[in-house]
Amino acid sequence: MSLRHALLGLLADRPMSGYQLTRAFDGSLAHVWSARHSQIYPELARLRDKGLIDLVDEGPRGRKTYAATPEGIEELRRWMLETDGDRGGRDPAYLRVFFLWLLEPADAAAYVRRLAEHHRTTLARYEAAAAEGSPTTARERAFRVALEAGIRHERALLDWAGWALHELEPSR
Amino acid sequence: MSLRHALLGLLADRPMSGYQLTRAFDGSLAHVWSARHSQIYPELARLRDKGLIDLVDEGPRGRKTYAATPEGIEELRRWMLETDGDRGGRDPAYLRVFFLWLLEPADAAAYVRRLAEHHRTTLARYEAAAAEGSPTTARERAFRVALEAGIRHERALLDWAGWALHELEPSR
DNA sequence: GCCTCCATGTAATTGGTTACATGATTCT
DNA sequence: AGAATCATGTAACCAATTACATGGAGGC
């Protein structure tokens, strides 16, 4: 169950509310995991029941801020090293690429161009994030390492899209 | 619902049984989508009810072979062009990378080395598949294009792992 | 006063995994 | 005869999305 550990990981860094966690899944974490608030709030309640997180503050508008407990961090560390059971990633965008042959060449090319556009914007966003300030803490350095994976991934697929457009030309 | 369209895409290429489809998800498709037989068989029944696939043959051991109908291919084409609603990919292996700072440096390095090993074997498998014969049909050429995305993805992350190991050295 | 964003929750439904259950064919 | 593989299905459970529902705080 990765959602649980994603929440623990975020809360191990700093205390956050369910609302802030929801927004974290729309940000830098979006390409590796995501979740809606309707899944997050009940999961936070379960994590609290198990003593893996603590309610550390209550603010305006009913805001509840949680932090990971030592037991929570322990559980997260355990999960980090327990790699088997990882199932292959799921990616509808690249599932479609397997079936491009069913489209008219013009539609297939348009699809690949749209993918390229998407990779281009994401890459720019990541590169901008990487450019601002150099990491100092272990946490910041690890984040930079994760970001680099995203950058190389986006760059590789952007290059691929260019190659693919050439390869899919009907004339060839 | 991507499973439905993955099945349609596979059956658009050639008629297959539920068992063969199950194995297809363990093969080249594994890194973009996967499903167990317990999900596939009921879905095939639903697809048949909707007239998107036909039962074209029954063989030994109760084997049932299905093929996509024209309506099925039409539905698949529609899905190919309807890209919104794609949610970000999910990848527990790279979710862990965001939390590497929580591990002892030695454990973090071991984790990255394991990722590298995984990318190395997958890359070798893809490159071997790419090396055998040159594609002739539109279907084969599109498959080669999809394979190339896999190759570049694996290569990029293998390179990343090497860089990350250097970057995570405690001495730095 | 109204709009936007902050903030949390529940209910209904669909998607996906694990476990249960059965049996035929082929190979050795 | 026994093992491996082929082959299909159902049931129970867990994970995730969509829709429903409510209200406070801050800006204009």
Domains and CATH numbers, chain A: 3-82 (1.10.10.10), 92-167 (no CATH)
Please list the pLDDT of chain B residue by residue as tens digits (172 residues).
899 999 999 999 999 999 999 999 998 899 999 999 999 999 999 999 999 999 999 999 999 999 999 999 999 999 999 887 677 778 999 999 999 999 999 999 999 999 999 999 999 999 999 998 888 888 899 899 999 999 999 999 999 999 999 998 876 5
Indicate the SS3 state at residue B49.
helix
The CA angle B120-B123-B126, to the nearest 5 degrees, is 155
Inter-axis angle of helices A105-131 and B70-81, nearest 10: 30
- Give distance CA B44 / C1' C9 (Å): 37
pLDDT for residue B35: 96
d(CA A95, CA A110): 16
User: Which chain C positions have some atom within 7 A of a protein CB?
Assistant: 6-12, 14-20, 23-26
Give pairs for A3-7: CB < 8 Å, separation 24+: A3/A33, A3/A35, A3/A39, A3/A40, A3/A43, A4/A43, A4/A46, A4/A47, A4/A52, A5/A75, A5/A76, A5/A79, A5/B95, A5/B99, A6/A33, A6/A35, A6/B95, A7/A40, A7/A43, A7/A44, A7/A47, A7/A53
Beta-bridge partners for B57 = B65
Asked whether strand D has any atom less than 7 Å from the CB of B113, the reply is: no
The reply to whether residue B97 touches residue A33, judged by beta carbons under 8 angstroms, is no
Segment 35-64 of chain B within 8 Å of chain A by CB: none
| pLDDT recorded at residue B128 | 93
Return the HEC string of B76-107. HHHHHHCCCCCCCCECHHHHHHCCHHHCCHHH
Residue B1's closest CA among B46, B61, B55, B67? Answer: B46
Whole-structure pTM value = 0.93
Q: Nearest C-alpha of chain B: how many angstroms from A59?
A: 27
- Taking 70 as the pLDDT cut, the residues of chain A under it are 85, 88, 171-172
User: CB distance from B118 to chain A under 8 Å?
Assistant: no
Q: Residue A77: what pLDDT?
A: 96
A14 CB within 8 Å of a chain B CB: no
| A31 with B89: Cβ contact below 8 A | yes
Determine the residue type at B118. Answer: H
B62 touches strand D (CB under 7 A): yes
Output phi, psi for B87, to 5 deg: -90, 155
**Rounded to 5°, angle at Cα B141 from B135 and B143:** 105
